[in-house]
Amino acid sequence: MVAALEDPTAGHVTIGDMPPSDLARRHRLGVAFQDHALLPWLTVRKNIELPFRIANRPVDDRYVDHLLDLVGLSDFDRARPKQLSGGMRQRASIARALVLQPDVLLLDEPFGALDQVTRRHLNIELQRIWSESKITTVLITHSVDEALFLSDRVVVLSGRPGRIVKVVPVPFGRPRTPTVMRDAVFHQLSDDLTESLEGYVGTAEA
């Protein structure tokens, strides 16, 4: 609904004071899914440039370079998605989501299909990206630790029907390092959230 891909059954969603579909039309949303959804016939660079072309804006080469550097793909800008590893594709997909400097970044389990090590690594990189450009981000995740590590506010959703179970503010300051995950408060919150999930699916908002 936030991505304007589905309509709410009742009520309405506004971002700022605009419906999400207006934001989409003005090219002010960024999105990355579990499926990287890169275009297989384009190079990494061309994939990241795609939002500029859709928005009919001139490509800002320097910003694309900067993002490539940020997600660690500078040396792979001319590779095609199938030549990259899963983690690299996901990073390219996140760079594509960021390239128009959107008002809202929607991350729908972007690390879901990755192994633990890569996932941890990308979590840390995402922190770094946010420290450079503060973008309101809605992150959907099944990982309680990921939610706590990355977000300012965790919204726990129940599965079918999806209802908000609870909203938990996360007290840790930024920038966060993985040492946060060893904090006693982190473990306490993690246990609480896991309990409230009881098999439900979790959503986090950063």
Where on the chain is the footprint of other proteins (CB under 8 A)?
A: 3-5, 24-31, 33, 35, 37, 39-41, 50-51, 53-55, 100, 106
Distance CA 106, CA 140 (A): 8
81 vs 87, beta carbon nearer other proteins:
81
Nearest-Å Rg of the Cα atoms of the chain is 17
Shortest Cβ 110–other proteins spacing (Å): 12
Distance CA 120, CA 186 (A): 16
Shortest Cβ 140–other proteins spacing (Å): 14
Distance CA 150, CA 139 (A): 9
Shortest Cβ 121–other proteins spacing (Å): 23
29 vs 71, beta carbon nearer other proteins:
29
Distance CA 158, CA 143 (A): 14
* Ramachandran quadrant class, 66 (left: phi over 0; alpha: psi -120 to 50; beta: rest): alpha
25 vs 128, beta carbon nearer other proteins:
25
Shortest Cβ 131–other proteins spacing (Å): 25
Q: Which residues contact 125 (CB under 8 A, 6 or more apart)?
A: 70, 71, 72, 91
Separation of CA 134 from chain center: 13
Tokens in use for 164? 């908000």
Shortest Cβ 29–other proteins spacing (Å): 5
135 vs 165, beta carbon nearer other proteins:
135
21 vs 190, beta carbon nearer other proteins:
21
112 vs 165, beta carbon nearer other proteins:
112
Backbone angles phi, psi at 159, to 5 degrees: -90, 140
Shortest Cβ 5–other proteins spacing (Å): 6
